Amino acid sequence: MITISLCMIVKNEEARLPVCLKSVADLADEIVIVDTGSTDRTKEVAAEFGAKVYEFAWREDFAAARNFSFSLATCEYILWMDADDVFTEPNRAKLLRLKQELSSDIDAVLMNYVLHEEEQTGAPLAFTRRNRLVKRSRNYRWIGIVHEYLDVADGKQLLTDIAVTHRGTGSHSGRNLKIIEHHLASGGVLQGRLRFHFACELADAGRYEEAVPHFAEFLLDPKANRDDLILACARLADCYGFLGRERQKLETLLRSLQFHTPSSEICCAIGNCMEDRQEWAMAIYWYGQAIQNANVGSWTAIVHSASRTWLPHSRLCLCYAQLGHLRQAYEHNREALRYLPEDPGLLENEKKLKLALETASTS
C-alpha cells in the first residue's frame, strides 16, 4: 500500500475546509495545509483534522504556493485538492482501492474533475481530468501564476475513473484577471498558456474585443497543446458570437477541425450556427456527428455531458420538424427523453409529434 500526503493551499476557508477534509482525511497519511493569509479560523480548523499547518506569504502566484506545499510532503505520493473539492462516498472507496493496489512504477494518476453536477442526482454535467496524485520522488513542479498545472509529460501516467467533485460557488475570474494584470504591470510578459488564460479571463469578464486578439495570437503558438488550441477556438468563437460576428464565429469553429476529430461539443456549436442560418440539412449533419463522436476527446479535454447525450437529439428533433420529417423528429425526441425522462419540454414535444403523426396517417 502506498502512503499519501494531502497537500492544499487555502485562505479564509473555515466554512468549506471541514467538508473537504471529512471526505479525505482518513485516506491520507499526512495532511499539509499551507495558509496564504487567512483572517478567519482556517488554520485552527485544519489543525483539528491533524494537519501540519504552514504559512506562505502570498505573492500573486498559485504555482509558487503549490510548489511550497509539495516541498513539505514526506509520503510516497502527493494528492492535491482545493478547499471546495470533495470525494463522494463511491469515489472514496475507489481512492482507497487505488491506494492499496497502485503499482510503484506509476508516476502520476489522472482523476476526473467534476466541474458541475446535477443537483438532484449528482451526475456530472461537465468534467475534465487532472493529474491528481503524483509520485513525490519525481519532484514534479507546478507551472502558471493562475490556472496552474503539473508538468508530468515525462512520467508514466495512469487514467482512472476516480472523481474529485468541485462544490465551489461563484467565479474566480475577477481574481485571476487581477493577478495577470498585476503580472503585466510589474514587467511580466504574456507567453504560452498565460496568454490563453488571459484571453479566457477577459472573455469571462465580458471584455470580448480585448480577448479576441489574444486568442488569435495564442492560436499561432507552435508549442500550444492540442486541447488548449481546440478550447481557444471554441472560446474565440463565443467572443465573435457575443460581438455579432457570426461568419467569423463559424469560421473559427471550423478552424478547430485541423487539430483533431471534432468533439461533440464542437459539433453541437457548429450545428447551432447552421440552425441560426436555417440551413437545416447542414445542422442535421453536425448534430449527427455530435452523436457519432460522443467518445471523441483526450484525457484532459473538458466534457459537457449534454453535448454527448440529450442535446444533439433534442436539436435534431427541431431540425427534422422544420423539414417536415415528423417521424425522425419523433424518434430523436424519444432518444432525448431517455436521458431526461421528466423534461417538460420534451414531454410536450412527444405529445405534439405523436398527434401530428396520427393525423398524418389518417389523412
Can you give the CATH number for the domain in which 37 is found?
Answer: 3.90.550.10
pLDDT digits (tens, 9 = 90+) for 162-200: 999 999 876 666 899 999 999 999 999 998 899 999 999
Kindly state whether residues 309 and 323 are assigned to the same domain.
Answer: yes
Q: Which residue range is the domain that position 206 belongs to?
A: 171-260
**Nearest one of 299, 2, 300 to 137, comparing CA atoms:** 2
pLDDT of residue 363: 67
| Residue 275: φ, ψ to 5° | -60, -45
What CA–CA distance (Å, rounded) separates 49 from 43? 10
Give the max Cα distance, the chain.
79
Domain termination residue (choose one: 123, 139, 166): 166
Kindly state whether residues 175 and 155 are assigned to the same domain.
Answer: no
Is there a contact between 108 and 38 (Cβ–Cβ < 8 Å)?
no
Can you give the CATH number for the domain in which 286 is found?
Answer: 1.25.40.10
169: left (phi over 0), alpha (psi -120 to 50) or beta: beta
pLDDT of residue 208: 98
Look at residue 299 and tell me whether its pLDDT is greater than 80: no
Kindly state whether residues 301 and 344 are assigned to the same domain.
Answer: yes
- 326 within a domain of the structure (yes/no): yes
Kindly state whether residues 47 and 132 are assigned to the same domain.
Answer: yes
pLDDT of residue 256: 97
pLDDT digits (tens, 9 = 90+) for 215-241: 999 999 999 999 999 999 999 999 999
Domain termination residue (choose one: 260, 284, 300): 260
Classify the C-alpha dihedral 303-306-307-309 as positive or negative: positive
Kindly state whether residues 150 and 180 are assigned to the same domain.
Answer: no
Kindly state whether residues 214 and 334 are assigned to the same domain.
Answer: no
- 265 within a domain of the structure (yes/no): no
What CA–CA distance (Å, rounded) separates 268 from 284? 10
- 345 within a domain of the structure (yes/no): yes
- 37 within a domain of the structure (yes/no): yes
pLDDT digits (tens, 9 = 90+) for 49-89: 999 999 999 999 999 999 999 999 999 999 999 999 999 99
Radius of gyration from C-alpha coordinates of the chain: 23
**Nearest one of 135, 168, 128 to 152, comparing CA atoms:** 135
| Averaged pLDDT score across all residues of the chain | 95
Kindly state whether residues 140 and 53 are assigned to the same domain.
Answer: yes
- What is the arithmetic mean of pLDDT over 332-346? 97
Kindly state whether residues 112 and 190 are assigned to the same domain.
Answer: no
Kindly state whether residues 150 and 28 are assigned to the same domain.
Answer: yes
Kindly state whether residues 56 and 179 are assigned to the same domain.
Answer: no
Structural domain tally of the chain? 3
| Residue 160: φ, ψ to 5° | -125, 170
82: left (phi over 0), alpha (psi -120 to 50) or beta: beta
**Nearest one of 28, 31, 35, 29 to 9, comparing CA atoms:** 35
% of the chain residues with pLDDT over 90: 91
Given pLDDT bands bounded at 50, 70 and 90, which one contains residue 296? confident
- 295 within a domain of the structure (yes/no): yes
Kindly state whether residues 152 and 53 are assigned to the same domain.
Answer: yes
Kindly state whether residues 339 and 325 are assigned to the same domain.
Answer: yes
pTM: 0.92
Look at residue 106 and tell me whether its pLDDT is greater than 90: yes
What CA–CA distance (Å, rounded) separates 230 from 273? 17
Burial class (CB in 10 A: 0-12, 13-18, 19+), 358: exposed
- 328 within a domain of the structure (yes/no): yes
pLDDT of residue 24: 98
